[in-house]
Structure 1
Amino acid sequence: MSGQYRAITQGITVSVEPFYLDEESRPEQGRYVWAYMVEIKNDTDTPVHLRSRHWIIMDGQGRVEEVQGPGVVGEEPVIEPGEAYEYSSGCPLRTPSGIMSGSYGMEREDGSSFDVTIPAFSLDLPDVARSLN
């Protein structure tokens, strides 16, 4: 995955590509829905275990929602050296634009923990001038 947005933390690359879901959105009801594809690549020489996620979601009016919890999409994958883990998820907003960012809590084989940055990425309607970011 090429990933429009990318961040590297301690040898772990997180790439994100958002997509607007027109068929699931209801602008007349203030509901705009995006999906996003995430790839987490381990470019270190030891396995890493994805233990948790922390998302910060801001809509176009500056309202912030934080989402925290174990793993991603119901999984806590171990990512081997040179391997990648991919998943997709979604996010509804009340405005036609927004931004997401966050971090993953990772654990090494020796039990040490570290946070991996999820790059900030824009949620914008296709073919609309970007005003938030």
Structure 2
Amino acid sequence: MVAQITDGVKVSVETTYQPEYSNPSNEHFMFAYRIQIENLSGYAVQLMRRHWHIFDSNGNRREVEGEGVVGLQPVIEPGQTHEYVSGCNLQTDMGTMHGSYEMKRLVDGESIHVNIPRFDLIAPFKLN
């Protein structure tokens, strides 16, 4: 698990290879990632947008942007945590992701950008 704190918001990431949804012979490798967002600040924040940078070991790069996460724009109160699971497919058995969330401080409407730390997507058989 990797984690990073930006402006009082801690983002932790854990990944899992999904062999049941992967097809290596067709260059399709599926990974799940679990994100935990913990509000360590003294004010409520709302997650408005996400921006991902996705890389595979062939040098392919993708960017994904959009509103919220898995269809939600959660409000996270001080001391509270929001957790979700999503997925990413790659054409190779190794890659990385990192990104950021645009969040709004509800106390003053100020936008803050919270970093999502870089994490590896590696099929377990690659580690042998």
> Any stretches of 5+ residues in structure 1 without a counterpart?
none
Alignment root-mean-square deviation, CA: 1.0
- TM-score, normalised with respect to structure 1: 0.93
What is the Cα deviation at residue 129 of structure 1? 3.2
> In structure 2, what is the equivalent of residue 43 of structure 1?
40
The alignment of Structure 1 onto Structure 2 pairs a total of residues equal to: 127
1:74 counterpart SS class: coil
TM-score by length of 2: 0.97
Aligned match for 1:24, one of 6, 21, 35 = 21
Q: Which amino acid aligns with 1:62?
A: G
Residue 99 (str. 1) matches residue 96 (str. 2): yes
SS in 1 for 2:25: helix
% identity of equivalent residues: 46
- For residues 1-133 of structure 1, the aligned pairs below 5 Å read 4-109=1-106, 110-129=108-127
C-alpha distance in structure 1 between counterparts of 2:125 and 2:55, whole Å: 21
Local SS of the residue matching 2:87: strand
Counterparts of 1:127 and 1:68 in 2: how far apart (Å)?
31
Moved segments of 4+, more than 4 Å? none
